[in-house]
Amino acid sequence: MLEIRDLNAFYGKLQVLWNVSLQVREGEIVAIVGSNGAGKTTLLHSILGLVRPASGSVTFLGRRIDGLPSYAIAEMGVTVVPEGGRVFPEMSVRENLEMGAYPHRAWERRKEALKYVYQLFPRLKERERQLARTLSGGERQMLAIGRALMSRPKLCLFDEPSYGLAPVMVKEIFEIIQKIREQGVTVLLVEQNVRRALEIADRAYVLENGRICMEGECAELLESDHIKKAYLGM
């Protein structure tokens, strides 16, 4: 579904990504794990059209999307739950969700989508008319996920969904991600919380200093000495 080949990207003059290649197949949860500054966010931004890669290619459903503007990529069915949620604080919960259905193909069917999201997050339904800034951190994250789902995505990217959340909330969010996959949405998950990410994903890529240093099935990675030592503190 998504294929990245030999991607090189710069932040100013600094090279952030070095020959990154990865693949996400339909229906999978794929995790990209790594520490702070490993280049995870730049990688996400190059998929979303916010960073123009210096070389290499990004292909989605057989079409090159590197170089396309981000609204065109969103229109194709790629969406993101940004780091920290980035909900629209002065808009109501409902308006935030409706805004998620902005792409043309989603706008016509936003009522159905709204029902689906409210069913997934009954708490958002209760707070429908509240301004988003009055929500708690966890609720905001739910709202951000709901907003992303409103666009009927084929591929949903998650940027550090656990960041800044209480452990209970983290657990809930990760369960929701699994639920979303069961509904037929492919998930690419970028996480610092390596253990959690490896527990729910099918496959994972480990990003270190802008290079992919390991990849494989999550069950195997969890057993590897390098992962245990560097990320799991064992």
Partner 1 sequence: MRLGKINPKKLWVPGATFVVLALLATLPLYASTYSVILLTSILMFVILALSWALFSAPTGYISLAPAAFFGVGIYTSAILGKQLPFPLVVSLGGLISFCLALLVGALTLRLRGIYFAMFTFGLVELIKHFWLWYEIQFTGTRGRFVVVVPHNTIYLAMFAVFVLLLLTTYLVRRSRLGLALRSIGECEEAAAHIGVNVNALKTVMFAVSAIFMGAAGSIIATRWTYVDPYIAFNPLYSFMAVLMALFGGLGHPYGPILGAAIFAYLEELLITRFPYYYMLIFGVVLIITVLYLPEGLIGLIGKIWRRVRGGHYAAA
Using rule CB under 8 A, residue 102 touches partner 1: yes
Q: Whose Cβ is closer to partner 1: residue 74's or residue 176's? A: 74
Q: How far is the CB of 127 from partner 1 (least distance, A)?
A: 15
Using rule CB under 8 A, residue 86 touches partner 1: yes
CA distance linking residue 216 with residue 23, whole number of Å: 11
Using rule CB under 8 A, residue 42 touches partner 1: no
Q: How far is the CB of 33 from partner 1 (least distance, A)?
A: 22
DSSP string, 141-189: HHHHHHHHHTT--SEEEEESTTTT--HHHHHHHHHHHHHHHHTT-EEEE
Q: From 1-9, 96-104, 203-211, 226-234, give the range in contact with partner 1 by CB under 8 A.
A: 96-104
Using rule CB under 8 A, residue 95 touches partner 1: yes
Using rule CB under 8 A, residue 166 touches partner 1: no
Q: How many residues make contact with partner 1 (CB under 8 A)? A: 25
CA distances from 127 to 20, 130, 200 (A): 42, 5, 29
Q: Are strands 29-33 and 186-191 parallel, antiparallel or unpaired?
A: parallel
Using rule CB under 8 A, residue 103 touches partner 1: yes
Among positions 47-76, residues that touch partner 1 (CB under 8 A) are: 48, 50, 69-71, 74-75
All residues at 6 or more sequence positions from 134 whose CB lies less than 8 Å from its CB, including other chains: 127
Q: Site residues (CB under 8 A) for partner 1?
A: 48, 50, 69-71, 74-75, 79-80, 82, 86-91, 95, 98-100, 102-103, 107, 147, 151
